Structure 1
Amino acid sequence: MTVTVARHVVPGPDAERFAERLSAQVADRIDRLERSADAIDFAFSTALVALQAHCVADPQAAKLETWEATVSATQLGSALFAVTSASEGAVECRIDRKMRSIPVIGPQPFADAGNWLSAFWLAVVCREQQRMTQLCEIPLERLRSPEGDYDEFTYHWVDVLQTYWLQRPGLVDKLIAAIETSDPAVARTTPRDLLQGVFYPPINLFYHFVRKHEEGFSPALVEALKLHQAYWTLDEERKTDIDGTVALGPLAMACLAYDGKLPIEVESDYLPKHLLEHGWLGEFPT
């Protein structure tokens, strides 16, 4: 039986125009990257907001503009790590339907585990296997925040995903470490509501996915979406924050499960239908 989890964000009359304005800002920031990539993190964060805005106006991601916003965010996420992983020269990146030569800027604080997870989720949603591989080949130590912004479970979690995708040994032990260190009694830097509502649910979903637990994945996905909703509706400020529109981590896990033929008995605008079911795959080069 399919369970429906309603999204808390309701599109207003200007939702489509707001999304269009954000996409125009993203396009402008993409064009600037060929002169300097110093603000690529700002371009990436803006692209993530634009993606969420398009999904407000187009809850099932049925419009080409929503797919274009998703692809641009994915390309920017990959480019962010490409330009910070080299020390000189330029990298060739396809962004916004065009090959671009972007000057490298070397290691930067914003090339951290948090942005890595967002970039990886997007690559999974777009089924961009080459980008997934490139991201997973980034050494874990390079993703550590010098300010100690993340609890240790975050790095264990990145290690799990890299190990899984690159088929390295030790996946089970690494997953156990990620689960154990994400316990609120152990993770002290991450606020408890953020940990339980946003960071932990994808780990739990991955656990069911790698076990090929057909009976457990959909209930875990329902729980993940309800926790996501609870986090983003905890107060009035969060309710109006567009960042809660799409549950990006659970969406990526659902994409892996969907492609792995696990039944997805959940419908929700937090998981835009045509992103989950890769309805736009192959529409244009990504």
Structure 2
Amino acid sequence: MRIPRHESPTRNIPKILESHTEDFWEDVEDLRTEPSWFSNVLADAIKLFGLRCTLDPEADKLETWEACVTAMQVGSALFASAQATTGSIEYRIGHKMHTIRAGALPRAHAGNWLNAFWLACICREKKRMTELCQFPASRLRQADGLLDEYIYNWVEALQAYWLKRPKLGDKLVAAVEGTDPAALRHAPRDGVLQIMYPPMNLLTQLARGDQDKFNTELAKALEWHKDYWTHDEDRALDTEGLVALGPLGVCCLAVQAGFTITVESEYLPKHLLEGAWVNEFPT
């Protein structure tokens, strides 16, 4: 089955990439003294990744893989900074080591954790995945912002899946039940139902070992993703919607578990799904 990606303009992308890339690396350098910028730096890294995928929907170019790896490194560095016990850490972002000030805990919220974990899954960074899964959910609650309860159960479900903890089922059920619109207090309903819930459903099928149901639900997840990101013009122009980050992350877990993904889509860039670029360079 094929789910085509929605249209996105490409005419000015090279110029936008040049400008955003320069600003991004300046912000990375600023992390040496100011970890409060971490959320912005991670969002910008994901934006650059999306811009690359605009021009390279199958991710068959090295520059797209580099953008994906860089976003993964920023996400992991955020949580390394948040739990550092020294004044600063040395962390690879791009192709070199950077000094990063400790103290990013206010930015270490569950939304950033999910993005960091999905990126680590896509990059097959098992060590970083384990480190993220060892980050206590209780510390996520200390971060800035008001989030609904379901997201903490969702984080703990993913941590339980990866670390093979016994509470996977309970946490996954609690996360799914928490996406009921009646239970939401902060997050917009459409974002929860069309973006946040589908990866939970996919992980459920993965945990059950049901490959056929996984692919059936994956097709639905991508249709919901498309519906969400084409709801209005602003969303349709947002490069964040060009990759279905959560579904792609769970698909990469499924591939590692031996599943065959039969759904094709630019929302799931082929070479990222297959791990074609893994080990291309030190990360």
**What TM-score results when the alignment is normalised by the length of structure 2?**
0.95
What CA distance in whole angstroms lies between the structure 1 residues aligned with 2:147 and 2:169?
22
Q: Quote how far apart the aligned CAs of 1:42 are.
A: 1.6
Of 142, 162, 186, the residue aligned with 2:139 is 142
Partner of 1:129: 126
Contact 1:86–1:106 (Cα < 8 Å) also in 2: no
Amino acid at match of 1:285: P
How large is the Cα RMSD of the aligned pairs?
A: 1.6
Aligned pairs for 1:1-286 (under 5 A) are 3-105=1-103, 107-108=105-106, 110-144=107-141, 149-286=146-283
What CA distance in whole angstroms lies between the structure 2 residues aligned with 1:41 and 1:163?
25
What CA distance in whole angstroms lies between the structure 1 residues aligned with 2:218 and 2:266?
13
Q: Secondary structure at the match of 2:89?
A: strand
Q: Secondary structure at the match of 2:278?
A: coil
Contact 1:51–1:69 (Cα < 8 Å) also in 2: yes
Contact 1:258–1:264 (Cα < 8 Å) also in 2: yes
Per-residue Cα deviation, 1:20-39 (whole angstroms, up to 9, x for no partner): 43233222222332343332
Q: Quote how far apart the aligned CAs of 1:158 are.
A: 0.3
Deviating beyond 4 angstroms after TM superposition, the runs of 4 or more aligned structure 1 residues are 145-148
| Cα pair distance change 1:182/1:163, threshold 3 Å | same
Q: How many residues were matched structurally?
A: 283
Q: Quote how far apart the aligned CAs of 1:152 are.
A: 0.8
Amino acid at match of 2:278: L
Per-residue Cα deviation, 1:114-139 (whole angstroms, up to 9, x for no partner): 00000000000000011111111111
Q: Quote how far apart the aligned CAs of 1:86 are.
A: 2.6
Q: Quote how far apart the aligned CAs of 1:83 are.
A: 1.0
Q: Secondary structure at the match of 1:267?
A: coil
What CA distance in whole angstroms lies between the structure 2 residues aligned with 1:98 and 1:11?
33
Which segment is superposed worse, 49-58 or 238-247? 238-247
Per-residue Cα deviation, 1:52-98 (whole angstroms, up to 9, x for no partner): 11000111111111111101100000111111223542112111111
Q: Secondary structure at the match of 1:266?
A: coil
Contact 2:154–2:200 (Cα < 8 Å) also in 1: yes
| Cα pair distance change 1:14/1:106, threshold 3 Å | closer
What CA distance in whole angstroms lies between the structure 1 residues aligned with 2:248 and 2:125?
15
Contact 1:37–1:102 (Cα < 8 Å) also in 2: yes
Structure 1 unpaired stretches of 5+: none
What CA distance in whole angstroms lies between the structure 2 residues aligned with 1:171 and 1:278?
26
Structure 2 unpaired stretches of 5+: none
Amino acid at match of 2:171: K
What CA distance in whole angstroms lies between the structure 1 residues aligned with 2:206 and 2:143?
32
What CA distance in whole angstroms lies between the structure 2 residues aligned with 1:146 and 1:123?
21
Amino acid at match of 2:92: R
Q: Secondary structure at the match of 1:5?
A: coil
**What TM-score results when the alignment is normalised by the length of structure 1?**
0.94
What CA distance in whole angstroms lies between the structure 1 residues aligned with 2:32 and 2:104?
15
Q: Quote how far apart the aligned CAs of 1:240 are.
A: 1.4
| Cα pair distance change 1:156/1:21, threshold 3 Å | same
